[in-house]
Amino acid sequence: MLVKSIEINGIPVSIETGRLAKQANGAIYARCGDTAVLATVVASEELREGLGFVPLSVEFREKFYSSGKIPGGFLKREGRPSDREVLTARIIDRQIRPLLPKNWFYETQVIVNVLSYDQDNQPDVISALAVSAALSISNIPFAGPVASVRVGLINGEYVINPTASQLENSAIDILVSGTDDSLIMVEGELDEVSEKVLLDALKSAHIAIRQLVALQNELTAELKPVKREAPDDSIPAELVKAIEAHIAEALTKYGDIPTKQERSIFEAELGKETIEALAEAFPESAKAIHTVIHDALRREMREKILNSAIRVDGRRTDEIRQISSEVSVLPRTHGSAVFTRGETQALVVTTLGAKKDAQMIDDIDGDSFKRYMLQYNFPPFCTGEVKRMLSVSRREIGHGNLAERALRFVLPDEEQFPYTIRVVSDVLESNGSSSMATVCGGCLSLMDAGVPISKMVSGIAMGLISDQGRYAVLSDILGEEDHYGDMDFKVAGTADGITAIQMDLKIHGLAFDTMEKALEQARLGRLHILEKMQETLSEPRTDLSKWAPRITAIKIPVDKIGLVIGPSGKMIKQIVAETEVQIDIDDDGSVHIFSNDSVKAKKAENWILALVEEPEIGKIYDAKVTRIMDFGAFVEFLPGKEGLVHISEISWERIDKVTDVLDVGTETKVKLFEIDNLGRLNLSIKQTTERPAHIPESAPRQPRPHRSGGDRGGRDRGPRNNRR
């Protein structure tokens, strides 16, 4: 067993190997405080030929026992990965995939299990460290180590790996991955901070990353692992030369093709024609021919940008594609927008719901509710392809999470706007930056729904082309520029600052001054996009859609909540059933009534207020007769509250029998004129009207008859006609 440790932010961090999971190619047990994870990596011995990608899979699972919990549900065991587990797996994948050989065609599986969780030190950063260390000590070729840290900004100070309690007061929450000499990945949300604050945060993060990389190097130096060789997938030089000679003239036309679809057709037809032309000299070389053509087109695109600063679609490096947008495009939704930028288009719809519509989350942090959700869908038709539509992909979850974080900062708090908010983005066309189109469309959709966001938010994807000291930063990148380029840097924010970022680098050694240029270019692009969005809708609508539920908010005494709910929820179920509304009651007595019908909402409101109302002397109530006695009538004048109308208080005229005027079920107005020393409620019907002129003042009425309860057996009560 071998252990190496360090301290970050006053918290011990350790990596250990040789004790657990010894049959894996690499296994690391890592701890940060009392949060512990086990990361394992295994690579198959069987080569998968014909692949054009590294067959890497990453699984991250949070064991409920790690925080002393038993999972919910019938089976009482962990089910499919939660969104948080998927997002963490994506982070790990994105930090290690660029460091594996491009020709590593052995299936490689990374599995991370959270074994202990102290609910203060997040498991994602320690998991990323553990995976890198496991790869470093394994026999799998890996250009690491790499490490991840979280950066917070608390009271103006950058804090590395802040605890959960510290993070609550942080202006930023950024996860940064990097090697000893450069950053590889950045992802996070920010409270509308400046580009300078972000850059300083990244610089602070890299200092800590280098410490964690050094820790892994110490471990690897002692173990001295022998690495496997990646298979040789090089193409014979003679074949490469023949292909390049054949396509040389055609390549010059590539830069003049305006649309993505036409460029795809051009590449496919060029490949087909080249295969036919070289079939006799180089039979069965189709895969190699497609690879060489692909690489040649990549070089052609990159050289054109570096030499002329003109991109494949004819734009300048800082030029944004044509933008158009519409709102209220769907007739029965609460808010909708279509945002189009070049060949990328997103339909984004906002739906408002009651508090009970919030998403319930059951994870190792405990049960919680999420009142704002943004979900992203990427159907195959948006890229002109045919694919099977299965469950939501990891990519869709990741892109939705980025857009969700970009808009979260500008949303109103629950007190101001007590709705559950669901935003759904359906990508209708895609040629790069569909997640940022989702941000822009989501902002317009929220405003169209009448959600009072504090500021408008836009997003832009930046790219980078670099070669031997030359570089070009690209604004609003195409799909090809993402694929052929060196960086995908998504930046979202308001006119005043950044709210979310995501960066993935494919090269080593990106200078901070290049990143600074990219951020400034992104800021200018973001402002341009905001101006275009404001031409469509410049502020949230003052009224909600007529199809959206209206909220009536009232406050009731905390000790009266039980009256409104009733035994086993009987009362609130009755109110909901009879008024057809939704009702949410908070522990502090806040009551929210949701309904599209104002009359039904008012009925429910009056019902609830009546349930908690205290009887008030001198007030007139609507009442219903519940019992008839010889001496008067009992009436219910508030829900669950009865009082007596004495026979002398029924009418200004003398009556001999109560039933001459009232029956059970009779509805009438009553006035509460007395609460006696026993708490009994005495009401009057006649006092709700003026005394007729011919009726003289009467003598004070007789005291109210005693109504005894309990066991009345064994008493001689006498004949009925002697009882009043």
- pLDDT value at position 721? 45
Quote the CA–CA distance of 131 and 37 in Å, as a whole number.
Answer: 10
**Closest by CA position to 448, among listed 328, 575, 286:** 328
Strand partners, 109: 42, 57
Any idea which of 349-353, 420-424, 543-547 has the lowest mean pLDDT?
543-547
Domains of the chain: 2-223 (3.30.230.70), 237-308 (1.10.10), 323-536 (3.30.230.70), 550-612 (3.30.1370.10)
**What are the DSSP calls for 698-721, one per residue?**
PPPPPPPPP---S--TT-----GG
Contact call for residues 381 and 319 (beta carbons, < 8 A) = no
pLDDT band at 697 (very low <50, low <70, confident <90, very high): low
Residue 699 has pLDDT above 50, yes or no: no
For residue 717, what pLDDT is reported? 44
Per DSSP, the three-state class of 193 is: strand
Q: How many CB atoms lie within 10 A of CB 563?
A: 16
Cite the DSSP H helix spans in 580-661.
598-612
**Cβ neighbours of residue 396 closer than 8 Å, sequence gap 6 or more:** 376, 377, 378
pLDDT surpasses 50 at 31: yes
User: With pLDDT > 90 as the criterion, what percentage of the chain qualifies?
Assistant: 78
Alpha-helical (H) ranges within 2-122 are: 83-96
Q: Give backbone dihedrals phi and psi of 224, rounded to 5 degrees, phi first.
A: 50, 60
Kindly write down the DSSP assignment for every residue of 264-296, as one continuous string: HHHHHHHHHHHHHHTTTTSTT-HHHHHHHHHHH
Which of 486, 488, 515, 521 has the alpha carbon at shortest distance from 502? 488
**HSE-CB for 127 with a 13 A CA cutoff:** 27
Q: Which residue has the higher pLDDT, 286 or 345?
A: 345
Biggest CA-to-CA distance, the chain: 126
Residue 692 pLDDT > 90: no
Distance CA 369, CA 485 (A): 40
pLDDT of 261: 87
Q: Does the structure show a pLDDT above 80 at 694? A: no
| Residue 723 pLDDT > 60 | no
Q: How many CA atoms lie within 13 A of 681 on its CB side?
A: 21
pLDDT at residue 719 above 60? no
Of the candidates 199, 127, 129, 120, the residue with the CA atom closest to the CA atom of residue 166: 120
Q: Report CA Rg, the chain.
A: 36
What is the signed CA dihedral for 475, 481, 485, 486, rounded to 10 degrees? 40
Q: How confident is the model at residue 708 (pLDDT cuts 50, 70, 90)?
A: very low
Q: What is the mean pLDDT of residues 652-671?
A: 90
Q: What is the pTM for the complete model shown? A: 0.86
Query: Over the stretch 237-272, which tens digit does the pLDDT of each residue have?
Result: 999 999 999 999 888 888 788 888 888 999 999 999
The pLDDT mean for the chain works out to 92
Taking the C-alpha atoms of residue 474 and residue 321, their distance in angstroms, rounded to an integer, is 12
pLDDT, residue 705, reads 53
What percent of the chain is predicted at pLDDT more than 70? Answer: 96
Give 608-635 pLDDT, tens digit per residue: 998 888 888 999 999 999 999 989 999 9
- How far apart CA 4 and CA 14 sit, in angstroms, is 6
pLDDT confidence band for 698 (50 / 70 / 90): low
403-427 pLDDT, tens per residue?
Answer: 999 999 999 999 899 999 999 999 9
Please report which confidence band the pLDDT of residue 232 belongs to, taking 50, 70 and 90 as the band edges. Answer: confident
Out of 112-116, 349-353, 690-694, which region has the weakest mean confidence (pLDDT)? 690-694
**Which residue, 278, 294, 588, is CA-closest to 418?**
588
In the chain, the N- to C-terminal Cα span, in Å, equals 94
Tokens (6 digits) for 343: 């060949």
Dist. CA 684–CA 633, nearest whole Å: 10
CA torsion sign, 20 to 22 to 24 to 27?
A: positive
